[in-house]
Structure 1
């Protein structure tokens, strides 16, 4: 088991960092925290400097100011890179973290080495949009764990839930322990910003991977394909029989996909710089 000591930036972002090599930063989803990336730390640490942090309003990080926009979440990542003295990094965002990663890629392209968007949303249908807006209202009225049972059923296979009751219970507790206002501010962005600067995605020049699970009901294969069509150098990966929380449920599968992509991205970067491997 890996035991890492959380550190903190001057602006109040809590993060974990381990390993040596090119930096790779992971961004979690709404209601979760940096601890979700344990499987990725194990798989990528031998090759990369792996960094995971708590989004605004989550875990041990600072709360977002009222009305904070998606750019404010991208600015949090920028402050983390500056704290770590990293000129650029590969950014991997899951679900809401994928929206943050996209915003970071659009606003700070010079700080991006490669982009990975996992199980994230794009161009919701009217029915999908109505569903997530309704869940936002329930969270506003009843708190962060208002939809916990339904969320866990969407996120994990029934088999995984049955085989890992302690982990599922811990995730349920994580959801319930979120700061209500921090959670709601973030969830409102998650619910409304799936088309954030969609017409500008063609400006992203870094290597990109857009991936989701075949059985992810909220971040569907169609969404992944439509998003990738907007990004010039994007690959698409649809993982067979995987649901939303595939980085947690199937870390080896996800890690192999990430390592393959990151190896190819480094090769392309070396070629662009005239470096012979």
Structure 2
């Protein structure tokens, strides 16, 4: 389904068989809502599960202007308002984890709990040119050139070899991401820094990192857990996309966290 959110035609999928509390999943850079298909299937009997495509990804329109991670958090707030959701558990992966942090900071009244997966508290100064270079490369040469390097960062070699059908599907999602959509998001990501505000988060927080994630070393994710009061930190045997690579372990971890004390 589509809604115009802050001037952007936005695709979302709502699974509410359970009619329970809201649970929102936010995908990674060069991804779309399909990365959460398995999680939606598991949680929809107990939760009202919302998935959506970020600006310039999947079937959501490309933003005509530059934007920030704060703007993406505002998009989620507006989407929830339009759908009549008073509050939600929020789970974000990679850039989605950055959006989730800013959503918990800027829209605290709408957050039931926060789960950040494979995301740092900030982008290091020396890493920013990498994202700007990827944005420039994709604008100039198209997105096809980043598909293989991205898959190598996102998954361990063992998983890529054992699950070619999963890799093929995700490769297709990357390849179908609009070049300008990727570039604008990569530029927004390069400027992300939530360190000064994380201590203000008062909601239950789970931080998940991949032990073999070279793109976002787990020490960078642990900084979130060390800063948010009472946050839980979990390290999984995976690379960047742990909800896909170790889906059963991730699902059990998230389920236990969501069922924990309010």
Q: TM-score, normalised by structure 1?
A: 0.87
For residues 161 and 149 of structure 1, what CA distance do their matches in structure 2 show? 11
Give the deviation of 1:123 after TM superposition.
Answer: 4.0
Q: How does 1:87-126 map to 2 (within 5 A)?
A: 87-125=86-124
What is the aligned residue count?
257
Closer, same or farther: CA 90–138 of 1 in aligned 2, 3 Å: same
For residues 143 and 70 of structure 2, what CA distance do their matches in structure 1 show? 23
For residues 95 and 65 of structure 1, what CA distance do their matches in structure 2 show? 23
Give the deviation of 1:44 after TM superposition.
Answer: 1.5
For residues 215 and 130 of structure 1, what CA distance do their matches in structure 2 show? 23
Q: How does 1:233-248 map to 2 (within 5 A)?
A: 233-239=230-236, 241-248=237-244
For residues 122 and 136 of structure 1, what CA distance do their matches in structure 2 show? 21
CA contact (8 A) 1:13 1:76 kept: no
**Greater mean alpha carbon deviation, residues 7-16 or residues 79-88:** 7-16
Residue 252 (structure 2) pairs with residue 256 (structure 1): yes
Residue 188 (structure 2) pairs with residue 199 (structure 1): no
Give the deviation of 1:125 after TM superposition.
Answer: 4.6
Give the deviation of 1:127 after TM superposition.
Answer: 4.9
CA contact (8 A) 2:134 2:186 kept: no
User: Deviations for 1:113-143, whole angstroms, at most 9, x for unmatched residues?
Assistant: 1111001123445554444443333223222
2:11 to 4, 11, 14: 14
For residues 225 and 56 of structure 2, what CA distance do their matches in structure 1 show? 29
**Greater mean alpha carbon deviation, residues 136-145 or residues 155-164:** 136-145
For residues 122 and 69 of structure 2, what CA distance do their matches in structure 1 show? 17
Which residue pairs with 1:49 in the alignment? 48
Structure number, greater radius of gyration:
1
Residue 139 (structure 2) pairs with residue 140 (structure 1): yes
- Where structure 2 has 5 or more consecutive residues not aligned to the other structure, the ranges are none
Closer, same or farther: CA 143–122 of 1 in aligned 2, 3 Å: farther
CA contact (8 A) 1:43 1:252 kept: no
- Where structure 1 has 5 or more consecutive residues not aligned to the other structure, the ranges are 1-6, 269-277
For residues 130 and 235 of structure 1, what CA distance do their matches in structure 2 show? 31
Which residue pairs with 1:273 in the alignment? none
CA contact (8 A) 1:121 1:218 kept: no
Q: Give me the CA root mean square deviation.
A: 1.7
**Greater mean alpha carbon deviation, residues 29-38 or residues 43-52:** 43-52
**Greater mean alpha carbon deviation, residues 122-131 or residues 254-263:** 122-131
**Greater mean alpha carbon deviation, residues 226-235 or residues 162-171:** 162-171
Q: TM-score, normalised by structure 2?
A: 0.92
Which residue pairs with 1:3 in the alignment? none
Which residue pairs with 1:220 in the alignment? 217
